[in-house]
Amino acid sequence: MKGIIFTEFLELVESKFGLDMVDDLIAACDLPSRGEYTAVGTYDHREIVDLVVELSRRTELPVPDLLQVYGEHLFGRFTVLYPQFFAGVVDGFQFLENVEGYIHVEVKKLYPSAELPTFDHERIADDRLRLVYHSSRHLEDVAEGLIRGCMKHFGSGCEITREGADSAAGGIAFIVARSPAP
């Protein structure tokens, strides 16, 4: 996984829990990278899982909650780092529908070693989008946080429910119900 995913995570940990926590996490996890991430490097995605599990142990906050908060934060960073993907996009659903066919395609051109999930999308009603996430990395909690961050960025609230594993294709379906801004 690209270094940006790690550097953004450690910056979030530092801002919420302090630099000592970052140092403690890196020291406690036996990371092949030794925590020396650069934005353009590529690292084993299990390192992020190890870091989050350790953070959960130390903060007593559940791993899924930490991953979701991280996903939401990451979306905010994407708005700053990749403004080109926001041009002409009018709402959160349109943005989410662009991830598979446009955004992650461009990300793959920028970073050929990126390992990206795939998404199927279906507008099931005006205010309801079904997104099915497929990835061997099982970062569905990060995906949920990214979706929530995206809807917020475009000024909407949302309720996200999971339909559970989509057994035929092995994906996880999110139903995103749009609501007025919270």
- The answer to whether the CB of 155 falls within 8 A of the CB of 181 is yes
Q: How far is the CB of 55 from ligand HEM (least distance, A)?
A: 18
Residues of span 53-112 touching ligand HEM by CB under 6 A? 78, 82, 85, 96, 99, 103-104, 107
Query: 173: burial class by Cβ within 10 Å (0-12, 13-18, 19+)?
Result: middle
Query: Which strand ranges, in their side-by-side order, compose the sheet holding 171-179?
Result: 118-125, 128-134, 171-179, 157-166
Report d(CA 110, CA 103) in Å as an integer.
11
Among 48, 51, 55, 117, binds ligand HEM (CB under 6 A): 117
Q: Does 132 bind ligand HEM (CB under 6 A)?
A: no
CB closer to ligand HEM out of 20 and 88: 88
Q: Give the chain's radius of gyration (CA, Å).
A: 16
Q: How far is the CB of 60 from ligand HEM (least distance, A)?
A: 25
Contact window for ligand HEM (CB under 6 A) among 29-37, 48-56, 115-123, 161-169: 115-123
In the 8-state DSSP scheme, what is residue 124? E
Contact window for ligand HEM (CB under 6 A) among 18-26, 121-129, 141-149, 158-166: 141-149
Among 11, 115, 159, 163, binds ligand HEM (CB under 6 A): 115
Report d(CA 148, CA 177) in Å as an integer.
11
Q: Does 143 bind ligand HEM (CB under 6 A)?
A: yes
**Among the residues of 102-182, which ranges form H helices?**
104-110, 140-153
Q: What are the residues binding ligand HEM (CB under 6 A)?
A: 1-2, 4-5, 78, 82, 85, 96, 99, 103-104, 107, 114-117, 135, 137, 139, 142-143, 146-147, 150
